[in-house]
Structure 1
Amino acid sequence: MSEPNLSSFIWSVADLLRGDYKQSEYGKVILPFTVLRRLDCVLEATKPAVLAEKVAREKAKLNPEPFLLKKSGQHFFNTSPLDLKKLMGDQHNIGENLRAYVQGFSASVRDIFERFEFHAQIDRLSKAGLLYLVTEKFANIDLHPNVVDNAKMGSVFEELIRKFAELSNETAGEHFTPREVIRLMVNLLFIEDDDALVKPGIVRHLYDPTAGTGGMLSVAGEHLAAMNPKARLVMYGQELNPESYAICKADMLIKGQDVANIIFGNTLSADGHHGKHFDYMLSNPPFGVEWKKIEKEVRKEAEQQGFNGRFGPGLPRVSDGSLLFLLHLVSKMRPEKDGGSRFGIVLNGSPLFTGGAGSGESEIRRYMLENDLVEAIIGLPTDMFYNTGISTYVWIVSNRKPAQRKGKVQLIDASSFFQKMRKSLGSKRKELSPEHIEDITRIFGAFKKLTRAGVPISRIFKNEDFGYRTITVERPERDDKGRQVLGTKGKGKGKPVADANLRDTENVPLSEDVETYLQREVVPHAPDAWIDHEKTKVGYEIPFNRHFYVFKPPRPLAEIDAELKGVTDRIVTMIGGLSK
């Protein structure tokens, strides 16, 4: 069954729910039933063997669990003699039997249905007289991976979540990232390690602290499997939304991953993988979301642990927690001596430039650049995400840069790399084609300055190019006769007293001496000015758009005049017509 047809078929269950459920509540029924049918199909072939094994091992007074896992061929099993099709044979006891069936799953699967609060929906559907009808709908679709592969199933879940989020006015894009954006990020993440990743038996660890439904983990797994079928990617994640977490966990189970590595909870306030480090990481944290609810825990960690914790470099303003996720990922990097790490994170424009010298944001950028962690930043087109049309940027971060990248940052403006979608999905109106992804990947891999048709696409900078000093320029206070007022106490005795009303600040590039700057830019206009070096602060910002700005000269004046004359003549003619 094709992806759109499957999505529509599952969506048709909404027709049954209409009236008894609000539109915004459809997902509470449809998502867990879709997961249940998926697991049901996966276990169908081995179910008889599992039940027989259970009887044999219990008779021998042995713990049957490890044997049942082996017989099921999965990381989960079900010991109930029932399945969804058998439930159809007893309409009057459907509620009781469905509960018993769900309870027959191994603990990791039961947790999934607890996150969905599935038992509450069984009660509600039963009271509305809908339980049998809804169960029957799902019993009649085949969701086995041989029919609907993992990639298709992931897309179906994401499409359903997007629809439900739209109906309930939630932020759909918080739950997942467009697949083509993930593919680009995965390409950029693995490109420099292609040789290592094709070795037989290679094992790598991948982490997503904002896992959503597991899309990033899945696409990375598919990519590595295509490169090297004998490679093994061990996946880790954490997710705050209970429904997204449940879907991610179910997806990982079917893929044969250890679901103990998928943690429920808030990554920033309760790190579910404390002390662990990873080879690769991917993340699309929510854009511009405040962190006031977890401020107490975050500040406590920053103050008490400093650089031994995650937030030593600084804290951003409470209105946008994006950079907290960046610092969290940095803390999860393997030390360079152990092989190092690379990660990709999608951020909005704010982390590039918000905050002056000395601010939390600037200090975080300073830490990233002075420690040579930023490999590249790629500007994506607008209208790429489901919940926002704003500009977004992929940061590629590494503590094991190749020799040619050391001390440098590559900026790529890929804002013109898109094709318009035939049908918009929320705010998403544009998408990257496979050719766009390949082109951007090549540009990144080449690591060269690139201009096309006079428009810069790729630029290479030194880390320090983004740094500056904010200097405080003072001028003397003067008395009624215009004479400089001198200090009478302490270290200021005999020196000019600064006039606060004449005080100014200037940003000077790190590459330039501040005194030289003062003599060239300030002294010709204010010969009595000096720098108060005690107030100097170092700042960093990445003015991405400025580096790709192309000046377009205004049209010739004669052309504008001719156009205006044409418009004026038409107006005169129209007025003349009205007066007849």
Structure 2
Amino acid sequence: MNQPALSAFIWSVADLLRGDYKQSDYGKVILPFTVLRRLDSVLESTKDAVLTECADKRKAGVNPAPFLLRKAGQSFYNTSPLTLKKLMGDQDHLRDNLFDYIEAFSPEVRDIFERFDAYAQIDRLAKAGLLYQVVERFVNLDLHPDRVSNSQMGLVFEELIRKFAELSNETAGEHFTPREVIRLMVNLLFIEDDEVLARPGVVRTLYDPTAGTGGMLSVAGESLSEHNPDARLTMFVQELNPESYAICKADMLIKGQDVANIVFGNTFTEDGHPHRKFDYMLSNPPFGVEWKKVEKEIRREHETKGFNGRFGPGLPRVSDGSLLFLLHLISKMRPAADGGSRFGIVLNGSPLFTGGAGSGESEIRRYVLENDLLEAIIGLPTDMFYNTGISTYVWILSNRKPAHRRGRVQLIDASGFWQKMRKSLGSKRRELSDEHIAEITRLFGQCVETREGKKPLSRIFRNSDFGYRTITVERPLRDETGNIVLGTKGRQKGKPQPDTRLRDTENVPLAEDVEAYFRREVLPHAPDAWIDHEKTRVGYEIPFNRHFYVFEPPRPLAEIDADLKRCTDRILTMIEGLSA
């Protein structure tokens, strides 16, 4: 059964729930039972061996846990003699036996079902007389890894969550990222380290602070395994949504990852890995999420810890916390002297340019660029994500840039790299093909300026090209007779006083001399103007679209007139025909 058919079959359980459950609650049953059936299938072949080992070790008075893990061949186990199939043989005690079966899992798995609030759902199904039918539907579904790979299972979970989110009026994009976008990000993350990652037995760490269902981690692990089967990624995770956390943890358990590295909670207020640094990081934080609920804690960290904390460079406006995620990832970078880090993050357009000189957003961009952390920004096509059609951008940052990238930033316009999906999924109507991913990866890897006809695809800039000085231009205050008003006290005595109504600002590129700019652009139009240097501020913005704009001159006027004449002639002919 292919992945779409499998997802549809699982979701058909909703037919049983209709009437007793609201549509928005279907996922509360379907998601935990899908995970339960997957874990049940994974342990099926080692069940007898685990039970025998458990009995032997308990008889010998030895803690059986480490031995059971070895027998199960997984990082979890179940000590119940029951399976989901065996549970069906005692319909009268199904609820209690199902509770006992779940309780017999190792602690990490029990935590998964607690996050799902599975016990309450089992109780509710039993009272509604639906429990036997639901369990029966899942028992008839074979989710053994030999039939359904981990990759397929991940896609199934994502499709189920998308359906759940649509019915709940939630945003599916908060839970997972389109797989082809992840593949692109993983390519960009690893391409400059191909030689290092090919070494036998190489071990690297990967961190995702907004893990969703763990899709980014899965794709990264699969990609590295294809490149070097002997390589290993040790994964570290944090996730706020309980259902997504539970699915991610189940996925990591099955893949043998250390579940101690999977933390539940808010990344901003409860950093689950406070003292760790990582080799690689990936993140797709919620677009434009406000941080008012955690404002107090974030401002306290900013003000008391400064650059010793995560948010030293500045704070963005409360209505959009995208750049807080960026700062969090920067704080997790391994020092360059210890090998450094590289990470990729998906952001919307506002972090590129929102906020003038001196604002929190500008100061964060200033920190990133003046510390030479930004390698590249890739503009993706619109309509790529499940919950929004807006433009999105992949930022690649590193504190171990190769020599040819130092002091420079590459911008890649990949907005034209897409193909139409056969069937839209929410707001997602477009996707990247394998060829598109390969071409974008090639553009990034070559790190040179590239054009397609008149249209630029890749451009290279110096870090300072994105900086500017905002100067305040003053004009003198004049009295009723037109004379300039002079100050009478202190430092302003004898100096022209500014007229606040005529005050203006100018943005001067960092590479340009301020006085030369002022003489050329301002004084010819306002000979009495001057610069208040005390108010000068340095700012940074990345006007991505402006750098890829291609001017197309309008058609000649004669050509336009000819078109208009042909159009009016047709209209007159039609009118004459009606009159006849």
Alignment TM-score, normalising by the size of structure 1: 0.99
Q: Please provide the CA RMSD for this pair.
A: 0.8
For the residues of structure 2 that align with 1:116 and 1:499, how far apart are their CA atoms?
A: 64
For the residues of structure 2 that align with 1:373 and 1:56, how far apart are their CA atoms?
A: 56
Deviation at 1:329, TM superposition (A): 0.2
State whether structure 2 residue 321 is matched by structure 1 residue 338: no
State whether structure 2 residue 189 is matched by structure 1 residue 200: no
Give the structure 2 partner of residue 222 of structure 1. Answer: 222
For the residues of structure 2 that align with 1:298 and 1:80, how far apart are their CA atoms?
A: 46
Q: Deviations over 1:425-458 (max 9, x none)?
A: 1000100000000000000000000011110000
For the residues of structure 1 that align with 2:99 and 2:526, how far apart are their CA atoms?
A: 82
Deviation at 1:483, TM superposition (A): 2.4
Q: Deviations over 1:325-366 (max 9, x none)?
A: 000000000011110000000000000000000000000000
Alignment of 1:31-430 (within 5 A): 31-430=31-430
Letter in 1 for 2:546: R
For the residues of structure 2 that align with 1:368 and 1:231, how far apart are their CA atoms?
A: 31
Alignment of 1:562-577 (within 5 A): 562-577=562-577
For the residues of structure 2 that align with 1:477 and 1:8, how far apart are their CA atoms?
A: 73
Return structure 1 stretches of 4+ with deviation > 6 angstroms: none
Give the structure 2 partner of residue 460 of structure 1. Answer: 460
Q: Secondary structure, in 3 states, of the residue corresponding to 1:10?
A: helix
Deviation at 1:74, TM superposition (A): 0.6
Letter in 1 for 2:137: K
Q: Deviations over 1:459-505 (max 9, x none)?
A: 00000000000000111112233222221111111211111111110
Q: Deviations over 1:40-63 (max 9, x none)?
A: 011111111111111111111111
For the residues of structure 2 that align with 1:373 and 1:188, how far apart are their CA atoms?
A: 15
Q: Secondary structure, in 3 states, of the residue corresponding to 1:21?
A: coil
For the residues of structure 2 that align with 1:336 and 1:469, how far apart are their CA atoms?
A: 30
Deviation at 1:142, TM superposition (A): 1.0
Deviation at 1:558, TM superposition (A): 1.8
Deviation at 1:576, TM superposition (A): 2.2
For the residues of structure 2 that align with 1:197 and 1:572, how far apart are their CA atoms?
A: 73
For the residues of structure 1 that align with 2:490 and 2:270, how far apart are their CA atoms?
A: 50
Deviation at 1:577, TM superposition (A): 2.8
State whether structure 2 residue 495 is matched by structure 1 residue 495: yes
For the residues of structure 2 that align with 1:269 and 1:457, how far apart are their CA atoms?
A: 40
Q: Secondary structure, in 3 states, of the residue corresponding to 2:473?
A: strand
For the residues of structure 2 that align with 1:48 and 1:299, how far apart are their CA atoms?
A: 55
- Please say which of residues 94-103 and 523-532 is displaced more in the overlay: 523-532
Q: Deviations over 1:269-317 (max 9, x none)?
A: 1111111110000000000111111111111111111111100000000
Letter in 2 for 1:122: I
Q: Secondary structure, in 3 states, of the residue corresponding to 1:44?
A: helix
For the residues of structure 1 that align with 2:524 and 2:109, how far apart are their CA atoms?
A: 75
For the residues of structure 2 that align with 1:385 and 1:232, how far apart are their CA atoms?
A: 30
Q: Deviations over 1:8-55 (max 9, x none)?
A: 111111111111111111101110000001000111111111111111
Give the structure 1 partner of residue 555 of structure 2. Answer: 555
Deviation at 1:578, TM superposition (A): 2.8
For the residues of structure 1 that align with 2:230 and 2:578, how far apart are their CA atoms?
A: 82
For the residues of structure 2 that align with 1:480 and 1:2, how far apart are their CA atoms?
A: 84
For the residues of structure 2 that align with 1:167 and 1:564, how far apart are their CA atoms?
A: 50
For the residues of structure 1 that align with 2:479 and 2:301, how far apart are their CA atoms?
A: 51
Q: Secondary structure, in 3 states, of the residue corresponding to 1:289?
A: coil
Deviation at 1:409, TM superposition (A): 0.2
Deviation at 1:76, TM superposition (A): 0.4
For the residues of structure 1 that align with 2:167 and 2:63, how far apart are their CA atoms?
A: 46
Q: Secondary structure, in 3 states, of the residue corresponding to 2:45?
A: coil
Q: Deviations over 1:204-255 (max 9, x none)?
A: 0000000000000000000000011011100011001000000000000000
Deviation at 1:579, TM superposition (A): 2.7
Q: Secondary structure, in 3 states, of the residue corresponding to 2:512?
A: coil
Unaligned runs of 5+ in 1: none
For the residues of structure 2 that align with 1:565 and 1:480, how far apart are their CA atoms?
A: 57
Q: Secondary structure, in 3 states, of the residue corresponding to 1:518?
A: helix
Percent identity between the two aligned chains: 78
Q: Secondary structure, in 3 states, of the residue corresponding to 1:46?
A: helix
How many residues are matched? 580
Letter in 2 for 1:330: I
Deviation at 1:5, TM superposition (A): 1.5
For the residues of structure 1 that align with 2:513 and 2:569, how far apart are their CA atoms?
A: 59
For the residues of structure 2 that align with 1:145 and 1:565, how far apart are their CA atoms?
A: 69
Q: Secondary structure, in 3 states, of the residue corresponding to 1:473?
A: strand
- Please say which of residues 137-146 and 362-371 is displaced more in the overlay: 137-146
Letter in 2 for 1:86: K
Letter in 1 for 2:133: L
For the residues of structure 1 that align with 2:243 and 2:501, how far apart are their CA atoms?
A: 57
State whether structure 2 residue 3 is matched by structure 1 residue 3: yes
Give the structure 2 partner of residue 482 of structure 1. Answer: 482
For the residues of structure 1 that align with 2:19 and 2:501, how far apart are their CA atoms?
A: 68
Q: Secondary structure, in 3 states, of the residue corresponding to 1:45?
A: helix
Letter in 2 for 1:304: T
For the residues of structure 1 that align with 2:129 and 2:432, how far apart are their CA atoms?
A: 46
Unaligned runs of 5+ in 2: none
Q: Secondary structure, in 3 states, of the residue corresponding to 1:221?
A: helix
For the residues of structure 1 that align with 2:538 and 2:410, how far apart are their CA atoms?
A: 22
Q: Deviations over 1:404-430 (max 9, x none)?
A: 100000000000001111111100010
Q: Secondary structure, in 3 states, of the residue corresponding to 1:129?
A: coil
